[in-house]
Amino acid sequence: MIQRQSDAVIFPDTALAANYFAKAKAFYETAQYDSSLVYAEKAKHEYTTISTYDDSDEIWELLLQCYNLIGTNLTHLDKHDSALTYLTYALNEGLKRFGESNLTVAKSYNNIGMIYQRYHNDYARAMEFFQQALSIRTRLLGDEHADVGASYGNIGWIHYLQGDNERALGYTRRSLKIRLGVFGEYHWTVGDSYQQLGGIYGRKGDLDRSMGYFRKALSVYREVLNPDHMLIAMCYRNLSLSYYYKGDYERALNTSREALSIYLRLFGESHRLIATNYNTLGIIYQRIGDYDKSLDFHKRALSIRRQVFGEFHLDVAGSYTNIGNVYSNRGDFENALDYHQMSLSITLEILGETHPRVARNYNNIGVVYRYMGDHELAFEYYNKALSIRTRLFGELHPDVAVSQTNIGLHLYDQGDYDRALEYYQRALHTGIQLDGEKHPEVSRRYRSIARTYLRKGDLDSALQYSQKSLASLVSGFDDLNVYSNPPLEGISSELYLLDAFKLKAEIFTHLSDLETVLNIYELSADLIDQIRTGYKAEGSKLFLGEKVSDVFQHAIQTSLALYETTGDDEYKYRAFGFAEKSKAAVLQDGLTEVRAVQFSNIPRDLLEDERQLRIDIAYYENRVQRETRGTGRFRYG
């Protein structure tokens, strides 16, 4: 501040302002945004005072750098409205004083782009600001500067958010190359590029490369950052999603909790990143069937998002959708409907009528109405979803096939089997065009058609489509003879195969061919053993319980019916064998590891390695199946 001694004026020392700014930058680099904000404000105050008597460009540039740093800190602290005020001031004053050819102006463009990306979901506007920043930086700094690398990374991330994975990869690789050239391997911005590549490869379906990049990012961050840094927490969260998609729910939960503990220490309870992590935990708990915990975490996420973003934000709408889905899983359809309607209202307000997210909302509401028994409204919302999707994507799109399948289900429920078949066939045609014959969803649609023919009493057609459903799930098996069954190898979805066996057995039961039915149940029992004891157990057994009891119950009934018909004791023994298998299945999972630990002296870390190998093998086989089919669609994060 200005002090007067007699007639002399002692001006503030620019060294003090520079010292404050240096401290603010240091705190920012270690993610201590509150402390950084304090010192950035002090530096701004000093430079503002100096600017009253020194109106030079040099002082004003330093002052606007303070505004940029304050705005960036406020952004990280989720005070985005105040952040935008500071950054807009910095941009407007910078343009007035310096024009477009100024690096501080470029930083203002960049930082405003961040706000439009993170808080307004306005990716087109964010892209405009990022492109402006890149244009200035390349003109003034050339193509190999760290700031240019940062701009390439930001533009790559917008392409990722817009679903353009190839452009996202191109820009992110350019960013990484520049950063490696400037900083070498161990710099936090290099870790950022690795994280970004991990996210892009995850969405492309290459989970191996995705996790590899996340681990590289984590290695870099641990080398150069504080253990409680936000970027380390972000890396843990991304790894948790990778474990989730791989079916390793235990590790998914553990890494997500690691991320949450860091976020809580950094930001306290009310921060958008805490909400994101709560959302992740909610999704994992929903997947493993713990709906109470899932609902708790989703509601915590919603509370924070409403506080940070206000009501009308897509993240808030996303939380409403997630809560609605959990209520649907619990059978609480009234609450499910309320939350899906709230999600729809926000999504329509932000995105308008013709958008894929709006179609998804309509579809979710249709599903709830179907479960509630209001078939007329279910049909209305299914058709709204289908109308938007066909307008946006044409006929050949997986979302269109989902809508067609749902309308088919509605018509099936109504007993309108001919029209149900029409929609199922359209969905099947789309699936075959997109994915080929060998695909689990194609198998599921064949199964829906088979069940519809069964309900119509056309058992021959039901058997033909049931056989096609089996063939779609097993590579190398193309035998459409309804008395043939596939080998239990090269299977793309074991649970879908079990469902296909159950339907085929049901159809032969209607034909009174109980010997064939019993053979199918014997094969089903072998498949259950394979799922429970084999390498796919970790990803599948959580959903196996009710299917197992149903298969063994029908197998016992079929064996006893054959015994009563023939008097042959063999069938009585086979019924006893199914009963024993049913009991053994309940105990087997728990006993296997207990015996290994207690009686074989196998260390727990080796057991964990073995468990992880089973998960990996399951994932790799599914990748082989998917790549053989030529598809790689995958939704990440």
User: Over the stretch 265-285, which tens digit does the pLDDT of each residue have?
Assistant: 988 888 888 999 999 999 988
Q: Which residue has the higher pLDDT, 540 or 217?
A: 217
- Residues forming beta bridges with residue 491, ordered by sequence position: 474
pLDDT at 133: 97
pLDDT at 422: 96
Percent of the chain topping pLDDT 70? 87
CA dihedral sign, ordered 120, 123, 128, 132: positive
pTM: 0.67
DSSP category for residue 490: S
Q: Is the pLDDT of residue 614 over 60?
A: no
Q: Is the pLDDT of residue 622 over 70?
A: no
Q: Is the pLDDT of residue 417 over 90?
A: yes
pLDDT band with cut points at 50, 70 and 90 for residue 479: very high
Q: Which residue has the higher pLDDT, 29 or 196?
A: 196
Q: Which residue has the higher pLDDT, 533 or 219?
A: 219
Percent of the chain topping pLDDT 90? 65
pLDDT at 6: 36
Instruction: Look up residue 28 and give its amino acid.
Output: Y
Q: Is the pLDDT of residue 616 over 70?
A: no
Q: Averaged over 340-348, what is the pLDDT?
A: 95
- Residues forming beta bridges with residue 115, ordered by sequence position: none
In three-state secondary structure terms, 295 is helix
pLDDT tens digits for range 86-126? 999 999 999 999 999 999 999 999 999 999 988 777 889 99
pLDDT band with cut points at 50, 70 and 90 for residue 22: very high
pLDDT at 550: 85
Buried b (16+ CB within 10 A) or exposed e, 481-506: ebeebbebebbbbbbbbbbbbbbbbb
Q: What tokens were used for 521?
A: 């149940």
pLDDT band with cut points at 50, 70 and 90 for residue 607: low
Q: Averaged over 467-488, what is the pLDDT?
A: 94
pLDDT band with cut points at 50, 70 and 90 for residue 618: low
Q: Is the pLDDT of residue 179 over 90?
A: yes
pLDDT at 584: 63
Distance CA 318, CA 637 (A): 13
pLDDT at 239: 93
Q: Please return the burial class of 441, using the count of CB atoms within 10 Å of its CB with bins 0-12, 13-18 and 19+.
A: buried
As a whole number, the mean pLDDT across the chain is: 86
pLDDT at 626: 43
Q: Which residue has the higher pLDDT, 138 or 242?
A: 138
* Secondary-structure percent of the chain, ordered helix, strand, coil, rounded to 5: 80, 0, 20
pLDDT band with cut points at 50, 70 and 90 for residue 486: very high
pLDDT at 379: 93
Q: What tokens were used for 602?
A: 């196998």
pLDDT at 203: 75
- Please work out, in degrees rounded to the nearest 5, the angle formed at the alpha carbon of residue 518 by the alpha carbons of 512 and 523: 140
pLDDT tens digits for range 202-216? 877 787 899 999 999
pLDDT band with cut points at 50, 70 and 90 for residue 59: very high
pLDDT at 120: 79
pLDDT band with cut points at 50, 70 and 90 for residue 549: confident
pLDDT at 602: 52
Q: Is the pLDDT of residue 608 over 60?
A: no
Q: Is the pLDDT of residue 609 over 90?
A: no
Q: Averaged over 541-554, what is the pLDDT?
A: 72
pLDDT band with cut points at 50, 70 and 90 for residue 603: low
